[in-house]
Amino acid sequence: MSIVVTGGAGFIGSCMVRTLNDCGMDDIIIVDNIATTEKWKNLKNKKFREYIHKDRFLEKLSGGGYNGISSIIHLGACSSTTEKNFDYLWCNNVQYSQQLWNYCTENQITFLYASSAATYGSGMQGFDDEKEISLLEPLNGYGYSKQFFDLWAEKQRDHPYHYAGFKFFNVYGPNEYFKGSMASMVFHGYQQIIKEGVIRLFQSENRSYRDGEQLRDFVYVKDVCDVIMFFLDQCVKNGLFNVGTGRAQSFRGLAEAVFKALHRETCIEYIPMPEQLQQKYQYYTQANIEKLRKAGYEKEFYDLTTGVEDYVRGYLCNEYATY
């Protein structure tokens, strides 16, 4: 039985393929749009049956070109929080997801997909995945596209055999090397240290937060993949689940962890926040993971210092090694 991983050459997707391989699974169909990017490098140490372009995959899928698919892990999307082309977001994050949902429903197979913590917007409604999601107000088009699909899925009378959406918080780790500006602050901070010996963080525009004390729930990509694997194995409760550590930590703390991993003295500069981000900036995120724990996921998450150390020393310092 084959497992489909959309976005399988991307950051979380390629790490998920590695996790499947480590569990002895290699009958994997990777769906992506590598084009002229360097994302192919994320596939070099993976075992899989087929790579196919995301548009060709839908054509082949709807035409009956695949038999024996047991699960679709849908991690492919436009993940840029600054994307301005809403038609592009709608096509990639809503319509594509709807087609995959419908296929999994018709064939009664598992559908696991990436939602996003961006759906929580400013966090005024909290970060509880058991509350009414229609009350959430995302701050950007990306967050809204994810929110719309979550709402659409919730309204469907018919659904896949097993389904779960994951609201990923701030994910960092190996294989994010080709995400450009959307890569984590660990990645960008490491590069800044190597080039200039300093990490630059945004100044705070909110009087409640000092410079560098903006808070995020930073979660290591290996933990993210372990959560997805748990749901793939267990077929537990359907629905939306936060995927974070449940601990909000500051950008300053993250920067200090990078310096510590490199055995260097901390050197941070604070720069003005771009005007286009000021009204759409999240100053605090922290996943409520009680629902995830109730579903039976018991493994402890990497703490920030340990996760950053594993990433920096094991991958970034090792010529950007592929996980």
Tens digits of residue pLDDT in 141-176: 999 999 999 999 999 999 999 999 999 999 999 999
Q: Note whether residue 312 is domain-resident.
A: no
Distance CA 6, CA 181 (A): 21
pLDDT at res. 79: 85
Q: Note whether residue 307 is domain-resident.
A: no
Do both 31 and 143 map to the same domain?
Answer: yes
| Nearest partner of 287 among 169, 124, 125, judged by Cα | 169
Distance CA 12, CA 182 (A): 13
Do both 89 and 191 map to the same domain?
Answer: no
Do both 37 and 16 map to the same domain?
Answer: yes
Do both 260 and 276 map to the same domain?
Answer: yes
Burial class (CB in 10 A: 0-12, 13-18, 19+), 135: exposed
- Give the model confidence (pLDDT) of 76-95 as tens digits: 998 888 888 999 999 999 99
| Nearest partner of 278 among 206, 185, 201, judged by Cα | 206
Neighbouring-strand partners of residue 164: 112, 239
> Pick the catalytic residue: 41, 47, 179, 280?
179
Q: Note whether residue 311 is domain-resident.
A: no
Q: Note whether residue 321 is domain-resident.
A: no
Identify the CATH number of the domain in which residue 46 sits.
3.40.50.720
pLDDT at 106 over 80: yes
Arithmetic mean of pLDDT over the chain: 96
- The mean pLDDT of 258-267, rounded to a whole number, is 98
pTM: 0.96
- Report the percent of the chain where pLDDT is more than 70: 100
Q: Is 66 a catalytic residue?
A: no
Q: Note whether residue 265 is domain-resident.
A: yes
- Report the percent of the chain where pLDDT is more than 90: 90
Q: Which of 119-128, 181-190, 262-271, 313-322 has the lowest mean pLDDT?
A: 119-128
> Pick the catalytic residue: 96, 113, 142, 190?
142
Please state whether beta strands 218-220 and 69-74 pair in parallel, antiparallel, or not at all (unpaired).
unpaired
- The mean pLDDT of 35-63, rounded to a whole number, is 96
Which residues span the domain enclosing 235?
2-173+218-247+287-302
Burial class (CB in 10 A: 0-12, 13-18, 19+), 299: exposed
Q: Is 39 a catalytic residue?
A: no
pLDDT at res. 133: 95
Number of domains within the chain: 2
Q: Which of 60-69, 188-197, 218-227 has the lowest mean pLDDT?
A: 60-69
pLDDT at res. 1: 84
